[in-house]
Amino acid sequence: MEEKLSFALLTPEPDVVVAGFASGAALLDLRDGARRPLVRPEPHVPGNRLNSGMVGADGALWFGDMDDAEEKPTGRFFRYDGQRLLGFGGTSPVTNGPVPSPDGSGLYTVDTARGVIRRHDLADGRIGEPVPVVTFPEEWGHPDGLTVDAEGYLWVCHYGGGRITRFTPRGEVERVLPVPSDLVTKCTFGGPDLSTLYITTALRGRDPAEHPAAGHLYVVETDCRGCAGRVYCHGMT
């Protein structure tokens, strides 16, 4: 693609995904690369690009954008239901998430630059104010991509920390999963019973000869289970 690709989410069409680009979210046909734009959150901020995204229980697209240079606090979070675009959660140079709790009562967002994971209560169609759940000390690196399992525990990637930490919903460390590369970027559950954890890492600024473990996809079998994914339907017709 001619633009950075930040996320790819399933739709009812096997060969079509919702993809996040610098220019916004679009329906991407994997057969020929054709794109149909869905939404561009902030065209007046040319230095921004989309980052992480997911489909919520409400069928809407939830995502964040960020400053591509990772310097200006111009990134924020959005909800798009096919018609209305709603921004929420304050601003940050680098955002990650959002990720919902299994019961749909809350939503987790990550301010990667400031090292904070926050929770927003979801009730009556409203997005609550962000409440800090976890703050990373400097030696942990930065919180990056995350997912939740069926018990409501958070699995958070440490960018610059070489690990994934499983936190309780109250922000307590439950376990630490070492990763061979220090730049751990994203994780998600998959497999037949959703107990397989897939982990992405970055090669950024690393010489492959000196850091052969960097930039690879890793697979770990766990004793936990993730939550089933959802497909995006708005704007398909």
Residues labelled catalytic: 144
Quick one: which H or E segment has residue 31? none
Contact 43, 22 (CB under 8 A): no
Phi-psi map region of 150: left, alpha, beta (phi>0 left; psi -120 to 50 alpha): alpha
Separation between Cα atoms, residue 34 and residue 15, nearest integer Å: 11
**Residue 214 tokens, joined:** 């960097």
**Residue 159 tokens, joined:** 């960018």
Cβ neighbors of 192 (< 8 A, separation 6 or more) are none
- For 23, list phi and psi in degrees, rounded to 5: -85, 0
Separation between Cα atoms, residue 237 and residue 215, nearest integer Å: 37
